[in-house]
Chain A
Amino acid sequence: MAMAKATQRDADTDALSLSAAIASGQARVADVVGAALDAIAQKDKQYNAFLSVGNEAAMARAREVQASIDAGRAPSPLAGVPIAIKDNISTAGAQTTCASKMLGGYTPVFNATVVDKLEKAGLVVVGKLNMDEFAMGGSSETGVNGPVRNPWDVSRVAGGSSGGSAAAVAAGEVPLALGADTGGSIRQPCAFCGVVGIKPTYGAVSRYGLIAYASSLDQIGPIAQNIDDCAALLSIISGPDKRDSTCIIDKPFPFTEIHPEHLDGVRIGRPRNYFGGALEAGTRRAVLSASEVFRAAGADVSDFEMPMMDDMVSAYYIIACAEASSNLSRYDGLKYGYRSDNATTLSEVYRLTRSEGFGMEVKRRIMLGSFVLSSGYYDAYYKKALQVRALLKNVYNDLFSRFDMILSPVAPTTAYRIGENVDDPMTMYMGDIYTVPVNLAGLPAVSLPCGFDDKGLPVGFQLIGNAFSEPALIGAARVYQDLSRGWVGP
């Protein structure tokens, strides 16, 4: 019944194969982790995907996990596999900087819930990954440690804000990474780097310990070479958490290895207006051909008109910047992080610390956020955006009565050159046009590679489902991967 595992697995480097080898005794955890650390040491100068690497801690942990496995306690289907984590996810005792001067040297005293889950599942955290500063950006260029370079073409961006996460997997440095998606920050770098990522349903994965950008939009998610690895990682990080009131899922997504044989009867919708002029030709071609794969597998693929398409970016940025402006107010030089040396009075500590500690994009979003929340503008901007969000939720409810999934592009272009859009926030923001509605509505989406453009750069597409329909999305993604070309590295 279940199809043979597809050629999507690169036998030596994909996570489930590694854990199987470890479980059967063919490989030792220390060797697998050591290989990852070597790969990072060798390659990362080119890509700048990592902000910190914990060699000793990782090897010590590898020994612990090996002992556990030797004692017959296999903690999970991914036990022993090395993983790297976006640097806005708190790791106790290891620096967590959000790629910002403001948190340079900040070492959390607690783990994010997802990190606890990884440890319990026997994964080995090897390092923290580069990103846009405080997750604000779509290219991983705004961090203070320099841009992440796309492994497919190091003169180009890796996408953002989880650029380090996608690049590290694409470059074969680690088989697994955690990213976080607020407006496309997992899906878009995955598309730019040709790897697979999942933005889970809002409320499926605990945000406790994720350094907040936009509270009602942020979600942590898995990034890997293929959908099976992503699914396994999702089953580990998802699940209820009493420490996060918005984590409303009642139990983790189960891990199965079932690959559906076909998609007969599955109704897939394509938003016709997403495929218009703003979408680059090469991307359009690749995404449309992906939808043909679904049709070939038996799905019923048809088109619809997505309402309010042009308003989504505005609504998103109003809400995200508003929440961010509040979430980032705590960075004041008094309790943790950077404090300006030039300050003597309290007012100076606040003002200089924040002005020196934050980069320009962060400042821009904070000021924008303050604006839309300020009295006199609140109704026209913030309140309006919240109302538009309600309308959008109704739109999706209607769409999911007609379709089981929606298939759309992830980004209007493939990876652009480093520095190309940095001074043009509006263009940057419009790059999120296909991804932000998903966050506004709190829906899950899987980002999958679907080919290359004529520059040879990866193109990705996304499958969007109704809340908590990850198992169905994963099933469809598995069919897609089984029918399309296997994992391709740069």
Chain B
Amino acid sequence: MKWETIVGLEVHVELSTKSKIFCACTTAFGGAPNTHVCPVCAGMPGALPTLNRSVVACALRVGVTLGCAITRYSKFDRKNYFYPDLPKAYQISQLYAPICRDGHLDIVAAGRKKTIGIREIHMEEDAGKLIHDPGSGNTFMDYNRCGVPLLEIVTTPDFRDADEVLAFLDLLRETLLYLDVSDGKMQEGSLRADVNLSVRPEGGALGIRTEMKNLNSFKAIARAIAFESARQIKVLKLGGVVTQETRRWDDDAGVSLGMRSKEDAQDYRYFPEPDLLPIVIDDPWLREIKDGIPELAQQKRRRYIDELGLSEPHAAAITAHKNIAGLFESVSKKSGQPLEAANLITGAIMHMLNQSGTLPENLLIDADKLSFLILLVAEGKINRSAYKEAVEAVFLHNVDPEAYVTERGLLMISDGHLIAETVRDVLAQNQSAAADYHAGRTKAFGFLMGQAMRRGGRSCDPDTVKKALTEALQRWVPIG
């Protein structure tokens, strides 16, 4: 009997707004415990929430991009439960009127195209952090993260394997990056995915699902899906029943663990948040959002390949980071040499980035300077090795490229006379090699080229030298 695994995702995205969703505390990561906190996010008596407009704007950007229907009259609701990381003992979230509904994201997994449905997107506030200290038998509560804005993106259970899940998350992350709403870093917690998984015999009815949390990397997600799928299949094969529950993924042990709490089924007693007013999205606002959506990575890749002639691997490498794509576009435009620009960025620049340990998103380099150098090499004014050297100097020391090539005499000598003279000298001094060449030993040409380049210096354009040498050899007659 064949088994099918059905997976849905609940993805939490930390938004990169400057302030929290319901108060003006900073969302900056880090910070000593309880130093990014105020009466509102600490849940003090009498404090009230105020809604950050940018959070709504982010939600709309994502919703529009994912093809969602925008809920024109949206509101917040309270989700009530007790836990030390939740100071008000309720989370302000959206249940009854989430800001976006019914979207989709088209993915490619294992070569197959697939559409994943987005059931809804809603806004909510994050909870604090708990630090367990078994030694003292205490749990420490840090509220810095309370109130950091989250978008929760809920998919329909369209996934059938881990490849699809990872392809989705990858594309989602890239989309969020390009929309400038989040840095989507799983390892830092700004992108979290909970996996809802059930199994069924092929063609059978939908099974009972479990929810897995604490999945902190793509690898963990893949492993967790494999484990949980196998676990549930085993349970069912043995005639048991899958318990509907939340399970915690333990990546070290490679297992999912059921909760010990007796309060598995919680009544959250959702009701509309009376301290906040409803949100009405009018046409002008929606238009403003739509107009403000930038070109996304996929569109850029398409354009680079179709219009600029880039290869797929280059297009993919460049669009992996938004600022790299921005750099490429700038350099490409200024120099008019997209292929050179692509080679440069995916080659030398990326190499130096890796060497220096700088993250791509932190790259700061002057596009004008790079363009200048590209033009020099394209016009034959410097040779490739000089080019590489100058680029490195710009990367490391931000030199002025014009001054740099001039001072180091890197500008090519294409002066026909000088080169002709050099070639003449070389042939005169290497009669036997010339004779060998005429006798049919083509290797002699390489030798003569080497001599000519060495004599001419770095600033000789090899192509010009080659041409001159070839011509000279054709006319050569042995002396004496």
Which residue of chain B has the shortest Cβ distance to A247 in the bound complex? B48
Given A109-B39, A334-B141, A350-B82; A245-B48 close (CB under 8 Å): yes
A-B contact pairs, 25 of them (CB 8 A): A90-B45, A96-B45, A103-B45, A112-B46, A207-B48, A208-B47, A208-B48, A209-B46, A212-B45, A212-B46, A216-B274, A243-B50, A245-B276, A325-B80, A326-B80, A326-B89, A326-B90, A326-B271, A330-B45, A332-B82, A335-B42, A335-B43, A346-B139, A373-B80, A373-B269
Give the CA-CA distance A212 to B40 in the complex, in Å: 13
Give the CA-CA distance A242 to B52 in the complex, in Å: 12
Q: Which of B137-173 contact A (CB under 8 A)?
A: 139, 141
B82: A residues at CB distance < 8 A: 329, 332, 350
Q: Does B87 contact A (CB under 8 A)?
A: yes
16 additional contacts (CB under 8 A) given A208-B46, A212-B46, A246-B48: A90-B45, A109-B39, A112-B46, A210-B46, A211-B46, A215-B274, A245-B50, A246-B277, A326-B78, A326-B80, A326-B269, A336-B45, A370-B269, A373-B270, A374-B267, A378-B269
Contact of B48 among A106, A244, A325 (CB under 8 A): A244
Q: Which A residues contact B (CB, under 8 angstroms)?
A: 89-90, 96, 98, 103, 106, 108-110, 112, 207-212, 214-216, 242-246, 322-323, 325-326, 329-330, 332, 334-336, 346, 350, 370, 373-375, 378, 382, 386
Q: How far is the CB of B33 from chain A (nearest CB, A)?
A: 14
Q: How far is the CB of B131 from chain A (nearest CB, A)?
A: 14
A208: B residues at CB distance < 8 A: 46-48
Are B87 and A330 in touch, CB under 8 angstroms? yes
B276: A residues at CB distance < 8 A: 245
* 0/1 interface trace, chain B 60-85, chain A, CB 8 Å (1 if under): 00000000000000000010101010
Are A330 and B88 in touch, CB under 8 angstroms? yes
* 0/1 interface trace, chain B 26-65, chain A, CB 8 Å (1 if under): 0000000000000100111111111100000000000000
Give the CA-CA distance A374 to B275 in the complex, in Å: 20
Are B84 and A346 in touch, CB under 8 angstroms? yes
A382: B residues at CB distance < 8 A: 271
Given A245-B51, A326-B78, A382-B271; A90-B46 close (CB under 8 Å): yes
Which residue of chain A has the shortest Cβ distance to B137 in the bound complex? A344
Contact of A108 among B43, B46, B80, B272 (CB under 8 A): B46
Residue among B43, B139, B269, B276 having the largest count of chain A Cβ atoms under 10 Å: B269
Q: How far is the CB of B113 from chain A (nearest CB, A)?
A: 40
Q: How far is the CB of A93 from chain B (nearest CB, A)?
A: 14
User: Interface SS of chain B: helix, strand, loop or mixed?
Assistant: loop
A242: B residues at CB distance < 8 A: 50
B51: A residues at CB distance < 8 A: 245
Are A108 and B44 in touch, CB under 8 angstroms? yes
Are B39 and A245 in touch, CB under 8 angstroms? no
A207: B residues at CB distance < 8 A: 46, 48
Give the CA-CA distance A382 to B78 in the complex, in Å: 14
Q: How far is the CB of A306 from chain B (nearest CB, A)?
A: 25
A332: B residues at CB distance < 8 A: 82, 89
Contact of A375 among B42, B43, B87, B267 (CB under 8 A): B267
Q: How far is the CB of A354 from chain B (nearest CB, A)?
A: 10
B42: A residues at CB distance < 8 A: 335
Q: How far is the CB of B135 from chain A (nearest CB, A)?
A: 16
Query: Top 3 A-B pairs ranked by shortest CB distance?
Result: A329-B89, A373-B269, A215-B274
Q: How far is the CB of B93 from chain A (nearest CB, A)?
A: 13
B269: A residues at CB distance < 8 A: 325-326, 370, 373-375, 378
Are B90 and A329 in touch, CB under 8 angstroms? yes
Interface residues on B, range: 20 to 34
Q: How far is the CB of A323 from chain B (nearest CB, A)?
A: 6
Give the CA-CA distance A245 to B23 in the complex, in Å: 12
Give the CA-CA distance A202 to B269 in the complex, in Å: 25
Are B87 and A215 in touch, CB under 8 angstroms? no
A209: B residues at CB distance < 8 A: 46-47
Give the CA-CA distance A374 to B267 in the complex, in Å: 7
Give the CA-CA distance A208 to B48 in the complex, in Å: 6
Given A329-B90, A332-B82, A332-B89; A373-B46 close (CB under 8 Å): no
A103: B residues at CB distance < 8 A: 45
Which residue of chain A has the shortest Cβ distance to B22 in the bound complex? A245
Give the CA-CA distance A215 to B78 in the complex, in Å: 12
Which residue of chain A has the shortest Cβ distance to B141 in the bound complex? A334
A373: B residues at CB distance < 8 A: 80, 269-271
A322: B residues at CB distance < 8 A: 271
Give the CA-CA distance A336 to B269 in the complex, in Å: 25
A216: B residues at CB distance < 8 A: 274
Give the CA-CA distance A244 to B47 in the complex, in Å: 9
Residue among B44, B87, B90, B272 having the largest count of chain A Cβ atoms under 10 Å: B44
* 0/1 interface trace, chain B 260-272, chain A, CB 8 Å (1 if under): 0000000101111
Are A329 and B50 in touch, CB under 8 angstroms? no
Give the CA-CA distance A103 to B44 in the complex, in Å: 12
Given A245-B48, A245-B49; A323-B274 close (CB under 8 Å): yes
Give the CA-CA distance A332 to B80 in the complex, in Å: 14
Q: Which of B375-389 contact A (CB under 8 A)?
A: none
Give the CA-CA distance A209 to B47 in the complex, in Å: 6
B48: A residues at CB distance < 8 A: 207-208, 243-246
Contact of A330 among B49, B89, B277 (CB under 8 A): B89
Are B271 and A245 in touch, CB under 8 angstroms? no
Given A110-B39, A329-B89, A346-B139; A215-B275 close (CB under 8 Å): yes
Q: How far is the CB of A390 from chain B (nearest CB, A)?
A: 13
B44: A residues at CB distance < 8 A: 108-110, 335-336
* 0/1 interface trace, chain B 90-112, chain A, CB 8 Å (1 if under): 10000000000000000000000
Contact of A106 among B45, B50, B270, B274 (CB under 8 A): B45
Contact of B43 among A90, A110, A214, A330 (CB under 8 A): A330
Give the CA-CA distance A340 to B424 in the complex, in Å: 102
Q: How far is the CB of B128 from chain A (nearest CB, A)?
A: 11
Which residue of chain A has the shortest Cβ distance to B89 in the bound complex? A329
Q: How far is the CB of A57 from chain B (nearest CB, A)?
A: 20
A326: B residues at CB distance < 8 A: 78, 80, 89-90, 269, 271
Given A108-B46, A243-B50, A244-B48; A335-B90 close (CB under 8 Å): no
Give the CA-CA distance A346 to B141 in the complex, in Å: 13
Q: How far is the CB of B434 from chain A (nearest CB, A)?
A: 89
Which residue of chain B has the shortest Cβ distance to A134 in the bound complex? B45
